[in-house]
Structure formats: C-alpha cells, structure tokens
Amino acid sequence: MTNKLVWLMPVTALAVSTVVVFGTMTASIRHPAPAAQEATDAAVTSTSVTTGIKYVLRIWEGKLGMFRGDSEVPYHELDMPLTLLSDYDRELLSQGIITNTEEEMRRLVEDITS
C-alpha cells in the first residue's frame, strides 16, 4: 500500500502540472501579448492612412459599432458586454481601430470577440 502511495503522489502531481501548463499555453495563444497586437494595429492603421479610412471599429453608446468611412452612425452594432474585453482592447476601441476592407473588419471583430 505504501509503495502505491509513493508512486501515486508524483504521478498525480505530474498530471496536475501538465493540465496547468497546457491551460496557460492555451490562454496565451488566445490572447496575444500587447506588443504583438500593437504591431498588428500599427500595420492596419498605416495601410489605412495611405488609402483613406474605409472601416472603423469603435465603442459606440456602450456597444461595439462597425462604421463605414466617416459615418457617425454604425452600420452594425455588436451586443457584446464591453466588460469581457481586456483593458488594452477597450483603450484601442475607444480611439477606434481602422481597417481597409470589410473582410479585415470581420477578422478584427472575430479576434476581439473570441
């Protein structure tokens, strides 16, 4: 019986450690580091500056709003609680994130809401 306990404790510890490590890895994959996100945002913004503003995702009346061009009214609103977003994402969205195409906008929305 004592032999079983001697082997059971390290095996259990190893299993728990494995779950924790994989859980942490999954979380880091789903939420990229701010530096990586800043690089992506800078690329989108710099491209948009040269071709003109086409689509903007920003906070509007407590929701996420998708805007075309310089419109003050969104063409689509997303019913997503803003409290689910990271502080970093909320800061970016309060300023507005610019994309060139509707496809880029869809990918951005998917990234932010997942």
CA 76, distance to chain mean position in Å, is 19
59 and 99 in one domain? Answer: yes
pLDDT in the model for residue 10: 73
The encoded tokens of residue 62 equal 């407590």
40 and 94 in one domain? Answer: yes
Query: For 81-97, what is each residue's pLDDT tens digit?
Result: 888 888 998 999 999 99
Q: Determine the Cα–Cα distance for residues 77 and 51; give it in Å rounded to an integer.
A: 25
88 and 53 in one domain? Answer: yes
42 and 13 in one domain? Answer: no
15 and 66 in one domain? Answer: no
88 and 67 in one domain? Answer: yes
Q: Determine the Cα–Cα distance for residues 97 and 26; give it in Å rounded to an integer.
A: 26
Per the structure, the count of domains in the chain is 2
Predicted TM-score (pTM) of this structure: 0.53
For residue 95, which of 57, 47, 55 has the smallest C-alpha distance? Answer: 57
Boundaries of domain holding 25: 1-30
55 and 1 in one domain? Answer: no
20 and 44 in one domain? Answer: no
37 and 8 in one domain? Answer: no
The encoded tokens of residue 104 equal 């880029």
102 and 89 in one domain? Answer: yes
36 and 15 in one domain? Answer: no
Which segments in the chain show pLDDT lower than 50? 33, 35-36, 44-50
